[in-house]
Structure 1
Amino acid sequence: MRFNKLDLNLLVILNALLTERNITHAAEKVFLSQSATSSALARLRAYFNDELLVAAGRQMMLTPRARDLVEPVREVLMRIDTTIAAQPRFDPASEARDVILLVSDYTTAVLVPPLLAALYREAPGLRLHLRHQHDKPADLLEKGDADFLVIPSQYLSKEHPSAALFEDDYLCVTWEGNSRVRERLTFDDYLACGHVAAAFTTGKPLASFDGWFMESFDVKRRVEVTAPTLTALPSLVVGTDRIATVHRRIALQAQQTLPIRVWEPPPRIPRLVQMLQWHKHRNNDPAIRWIRERIIEVAATV
C-alpha cells in the first residue's frame, strides 16, 4: 500500500532502522535479510531525499532529518497497532499472546509468582516475558518494546497512564551474631555500621534513597558492599556487623531461611508506592485492559 507515493510497508523498516541504527540489527528485528533491509534503506533515502543514517566509524548516526522522524514514525505505527490491528475482543481462555513486563527483582519476588498463578488459571495461552529494568525503563515502554512497567511512583513517566498496585515500607536487617546491634537499633548504630546496598546499571548504590537520606539528616551512610539485586541484600550481612535496609516483604521472606534479625529503621523512611504503567495508545486495547485489571487484582492480595 502506498500513501503519497510512500510504500507504507517501509515505515516498519524505517522504525527499526531509526531505533537500532544498525542495518543488521534492524533486519533481525523485522525478520528480513540484510540485503533486503539495505535495499529498503536505499528506497527510503530516495523518498526523503536524505541519507537518514550515515557511517561514523563503526557506528551509524542519524541525520537531523532522521532524528525528526523518530517520534512521528513510532507514533504512527503504535496507533495502527492499537486501533486497526488490535482485535476488538479478547477471550483469555482461548487466545495466545506475548506479554512483556519490565520488573525489578523485588517485583519478581513479591508480585510475579501469584500473578503467574492467576494468569495460568484464567489465560493459559498468555506467554509472559519478564525483562530487567535499565536506567530508563520508560523508554522501552515508549518504543513499544514492553507492554507494562512496574515501578515506584517517583520514576513514572508523565506521558502515560498508570495505576497504584501496592505499598511497602522498610526494615533493617542484621546478622543475628552482629556484635554492635544486640538489643535495639539506634540511629547512631545505623550510622556506625557499614551498609550493604543495591547498585544497578549506573553503579550508583540506591541513589534516590541515599539522596533522600542525605537531604533529611545531612549525613552519609558508609556503603561497604553493593549488589545488583535487592533480594540478595539480607544474605550479604550474614557473618558481618553490616546492615541492609530493604523492603519489609523482602526482609520477612529472608528471615524465614537466614540467621538474621529485623529492626524498624531508626530514620523514618517514606513508604514505597509500587505502580503499574502502560502506553497511552494501548489504553483501550482489550487484551491490555484485561491483563491490566488482573495485575491490579492480584496486587491487592499481595
Structure 2
Amino acid sequence: MRFNKLDLNLLVALDAMLTERSISRAAERLHISQSATSNALARLREYFNDDLLVQVGRKMELTPRAEALRDPVRDVLVRVDTTITAQPEFIASRSDREFRILVSDFTMAVLLPHALALAQRQGSTVRFQFLQQVEQPQRALERGEADLLVMPRDYCSPNHPIETVFRETFTCVVWQESRIAREGLTFERYAAAGHVVMQPPGTNQGSFEVWFMQRHGLSRRVEVSAYNFASATHLVVGTERVATVHTRLARQAQRALPIQLMPPPMQMPEMEQAMQWHKYRTTDPGIVWLRQLLKDAALEMDRAGGAVS
C-alpha cells in the first residue's frame, strides 16, 4: 500500500533501523535478509532525500532528519498496532497474552505478589514480564515496549493517562544496636549521619525520597548508594548509617533483619504510586483488566496488613 507515493511497508523497516541503528540487527528484527533491509534503506533514502543512517567509525548514527522521524514513525506504528490488534473482549482465563510492566523492586516486593496470587485465583493464563525501570520510562510506552508503568505519580508523563494504585509513607531504618537506635533520631542526628540511598541504575534520576530531599533543600551525606530499594535496609546493619525507605518495605525487612524503624524527623508527604498506560490503549480490554487487577491487588495488600498511615 502506498500513501503519498511512500510504500507504507517501508515504515516498519524504517522504525527497525532507527531503533537498532544497524542493518544486520534490523534485518534480524524484521526476519528478512540484510540485502532486503539494505534495499529498503536505499528506497527510504531516495524518498526522504536524506541518508538517514550514516557510518561513523564502527557504528551507524542517525542524521538530524532521521532523529526527527524516529518518534513520529513509532507513534504511527503503535497507533496502527493498537487499532488492529485490539480485541472486542478479554478473558484472562483464555488468553496467552504477555503483559510487559516497568516496575521498581519496591513494587515487586509489596504489590506484585498479591497481583499474581489474585490472577492465579481468577484462573488467568496470561504471562507477565516485569522490566527494570529506566530513564524516561514513558518512552517505553510510546515505543510499544511496555504495556504499563508503575511509578510515583510525580515522575509520570503528562502525555498519558495516570491512575493512583496506592499511597506510601516513608520510614527511617537504622541498625538496632546503633547509637541512633538508643538515643533517638532528631533532625540534627539525621543531618549529621551517613546515609544509604537508592540510585536507579542507568539513570541520573533519584528515587522519590531523594527527589523530596533535593526539592526542599535538605542536604545529606550519602555514604552508600545502592541500585535497588530492598538492599538499602540490609546495608545499614552493623553501621551508624540511616536509610529512608518505603514503610511497607521497611516492615518486610524488619522481620528478617536486626533493624529498628523510626519516623523521619521532618514531615514527608505520602508518595502516590501510580500506573500509566499509553493513551491509545485506554480502551484495550486487556489493559483495562490489568489495571483493575493491580487496583484489586492493592486492596488485598492493605487487608493483609500492608496499609500504612
TM-score (normalizing by structure 2)? 0.90
What is the aligned partner in structure 2 of residue 101 from structure 1?
A: 101
State the alpha-carbon separation in 2 of the partners of residues 215 and 17 from structure 1. 40
State the alpha-carbon separation in 1 of the partners of residues 253 and 37 from structure 2. 51
What is the aligned partner in structure 1 of residue 224 from structure 2?
A: 225
What is the aligned partner in structure 1 of residue 114 from structure 2?
A: 114
AA in 2 matched with 1:147: D
What is the aligned partner in structure 2 of residue 289 from structure 1?
A: 288
What's the offset of the Cα at 1:147?
0.4
Q: Secondary structure at 2:274's aligned position in 1?
A: strand
AA in 1 matched with 2:290: I
Matched-pair contact (CA < 8 Å) for 1:95–1:123: no
What's the offset of the Cα at 1:249?
0.4
What is the aligned partner in structure 2 of residue 146 from structure 1?
A: 146
What is the aligned partner in structure 2 of residue 81 from structure 1?
A: 81
AA in 2 matched with 1:271: E
What's the offset of the Cα at 1:214?
4.9
Q: Secondary structure at 1:84's aligned position in 2?
A: helix
- 1:1-302 to structure 2, matched below 5 A, reads 1-122=1-122, 124-201=124-201, 206=206, 209-210=209-210, 212-214=212-214, 216=216, 218-302=217-301
CA deviation digits over 1:7-48, x for unaligned, max 9?
Answer: 322211111112222222322333333333222212222333
Change (3 A) 1:209 1:18: same
State the alpha-carbon separation in 2 of the partners of residues 255 and 200 from structure 1. 23
Matched-pair contact (CA < 8 Å) for 1:210–1:221: no
AA in 1 matched with 2:145: D
State the alpha-carbon separation in 2 of the partners of residues 3 and 255 from structure 1. 62
What's the offset of the Cα at 1:133?
0.6
State the alpha-carbon separation in 2 of the partners of residues 81 and 152 from structure 1. 28
Q: Secondary structure at 1:231's aligned position in 2?
A: helix
State the alpha-carbon separation in 2 of the partners of residues 171 and 207 from structure 1. 14
What's the offset of the Cα at 1:71?
2.8
State the alpha-carbon separation in 2 of the partners of residues 142 and 250 from structure 1. 30
What's the offset of the Cα at 1:112?
1.1
Q: Secondary structure at 2:292's aligned position in 1?
A: helix
CA deviation digits over 1:237-265, x for unaligned, max 9?
Answer: 11111111100001100000111111111
TM-score (normalizing by structure 1)? 0.92
Q: Secondary structure at 1:181's aligned position in 2?
A: helix
CA deviation digits over 1:192-244, x for unaligned, max 9?
Answer: 2211111223576846534533553x552111111111111111111111111
Q: Secondary structure at 1:93's aligned position in 2?
A: helix
The answer for unaligned runs of 5 or more in structure 2 is 302-309
Could you tell me the percent identity over the aligned residues? Answer: 48
Change (3 A) 1:149 1:203: closer
AA in 1 matched with 2:266: P
Change (3 A) 1:3 1:206: closer
CA deviation digits over 1:145-189, x for unaligned, max 9?
Answer: 100000101111011001000001011111111034314221122
Q: Secondary structure at 2:239's aligned position in 1?
A: coil
Matched-pair contact (CA < 8 Å) for 1:175–1:259: yes
Matched-pair contact (CA < 8 Å) for 2:174–2:236: yes
What is the aligned partner in structure 1 of residue 305 from structure 2?
A: none
Change (3 A) 1:96 1:225: same
Matched-pair contact (CA < 8 Å) for 2:171–2:247: yes
Root-mean-square deviation (CA, aligned residues, Å) is 2.0
Matched-pair contact (CA < 8 Å) for 1:161–1:280: yes
Q: Secondary structure at 2:164's aligned position in 1?
A: strand
Matched-pair contact (CA < 8 Å) for 1:197–1:205: no
Number of positions where the alignment pairs a residue of Structure 1 with one of Structure 2: 301
